Every structure is written in C-alpha cells, then in structure tokens.
Amino acid sequence: MDLKRDELKIFLDEKYNLYNRPAFIESDPIQVPHQFSKPEDIEIAAFLTASIAWGNRKMIIKNAKTIISLLDNAPLDFVTNSKETDLENLGFFVHRTFNGSDLIFFLKSLQNIYKNHGGLRNIFESNFIDVKSSLANFREIFFSIEHPLHVKKHVPDVIKKSAAKRLNMFLMWMVRNDNRGVHFGLWNKIPTHELKLPLDVHTANVGRKLGLLHRKQNDWQAVEEITDELRKFDEKDPVKYDFALFGLGVFEKF
C-alpha cells in the first residue's frame, strides 16, 4: 500500500478510532481482566491472560477464564494465600504448550513477587529506565525461585532478542490511559511514549505492507523499528496504533 506519510497517519488514525472503543473488549482477551475492579486483581488476571495469548483468540479467552475460575475468581487472594495443596489441583490445566505445571509455577512466582517484591507494578515501575531493561529485570525476578527448566520458554527473553509480544501487550494494557475504556491505565510511572508495540504475525505483516517495518524477522529489533516509525505519527503514544495494525490484520484481513 503506497501512501504518503500524512495520508498514512490519517489512515492509521481512522483505524485507531474505529477499533479503540469498548466494543473491542467483547472479542479480545482483555475482557478477562475487565471482570475486576481491584488493581491487583486486574494486573494478575491481565498478566496470566497475556501469558497464554497465542493461538486462537476464542480459545485464549476460554482458557484464561478457566484460569481465573481456578483462582476462585479472586486472583490476588489466591496468589497470596494459596497453599501447595491448592496448587496441586491445577495440574490438569492446558493451553497449547502451557500446561498445569507451568501454571503452578507461574502462581508460585507471582506469590513470591507479591510477598517479597511489592507486586508486579512495583517490579516494573521501580527504577524504570526503559522497557527492555524492565522486561529483563522482571524475567530475572520471575525465575529467581526454583523452577522447572521447561517453563522458561513461556516468559520471553529480550536479552536474546525476543519480540516479547505478550509482555509488551501486558504493559500496554497496564500503562495506556486514553479514557477510551479498553486499556486500564493503572500504572502511571512508566511513560506511555516508552512502550513498545506488541509485535505478532498480524501487526508485523500489516506493518510491512504499510512500509513501517522492513526487517524480516519478528524480533526485538523489529519491535524497535516499527515502534520508532509509529512514534513519527504520535511521539507521546506510538503504541496506540496497535489497534489499527491489529484490527487491519485480524478483522479486515488486510
């Protein structure tokens, strides 16, 4: 698609406004944390939902809701107060390659995070420098307790140049606050302009078709490239265009 820069901005803004509205929630995994009002419940539900956000969207939503029901629909209370016997009952869970033992470890690590590190928000917001450093620090803390080797594949490693789509999406959900009713805007110590686009096959392919991305691999370098291009259209909130790129790719088969 050959558009001049000002025409491309108009096009992307139109798509952003089309998809960034509460109706978007009805078909998106973000509906799962929207069940809650307490910030800690929202962020835990959002993190667990984002962690399994690959594959069929309906299945993602179904399985994320299953996780929440397994937590007695009280994420923070379950995470902070669950005992080993409570966790053992979750061993049957499976979402693609994310299985019950993975979920059990995730909950153990979250318990450590909320009991000993001040919670998810504190880890990401404390001494924030940039998103890449923050994601690397989070992964180090997440695996600071004893863990099975296979679970590490479920938390992306930006040091090894992973695009970290799911964690960038989680951060976008937590940080962006545009009063449109979709994203939560709960964390205010991470600047919106620092966020990185949650790059997946849809946003990457649309980005290439629009001339926003030239790198062939969907890695961290590609994330930085496309985010920098989008920053030219809105330097304060570049990742708002995730709505446009994702909508074009998923809903419009662009």
CB 107 within 8 A of CB 78: yes
* pLDDT exceeds 70 at position 1: no
State residue 5's pLDDT score. 86
Domain coverage including residue 193? 5-251
Residue 51, CA distances (Å) to 35, 92, 99, 157, 189 in order: 17, 17, 12, 13, 23
Angle at which helices 100-116 and 131-142 pack, to 10 degrees? Answer: 110
Average pLDDT for the chain: 96
Q: What is the pLDDT of residues 241-250, one digit of tens each?
A: 999 999 999 9
Residue 64, CA distances (Å) to 29, 33, 92, 206 in order: 8, 9, 14, 27
CA distance 95 to 81: 25
State residue 106's pLDDT score. 98
* pLDDT exceeds 90 at position 72: yes
* pLDDT exceeds 90 at position 215: yes
How many domains does the structure of the chain reveal? 1
Instruction: Say whether 99 sits in a helix, a strand or coil.
Output: strand
What confidence category does residue 3 fall into, taking pLDDT thresholds of 50, 70 and 90?
A: confident
State residue 253's pLDDT score. 83
The β-bridge relationship of strands 94-95 and 98-99 is antiparallel
* pLDDT exceeds 70 at position 225: yes
State residue 4's pLDDT score. 85
Q: What is the pLDDT of residues 88-118, one digit of tens each?
A: 989 899 999 999 999 999 999 999 999 999 9
Q: What is the pLDDT of residues 144-157, one digit of tens each?
A: 999 988 999 999 99
Q: Which of 239, 215, 210 is nearest to 227 (CA)?
A: 239
Which residues are CB-neighbours of 87 under 8 A, at least 6 positions away?
104, 107, 108
Average the pLDDT over 190-196 and give the result: 98
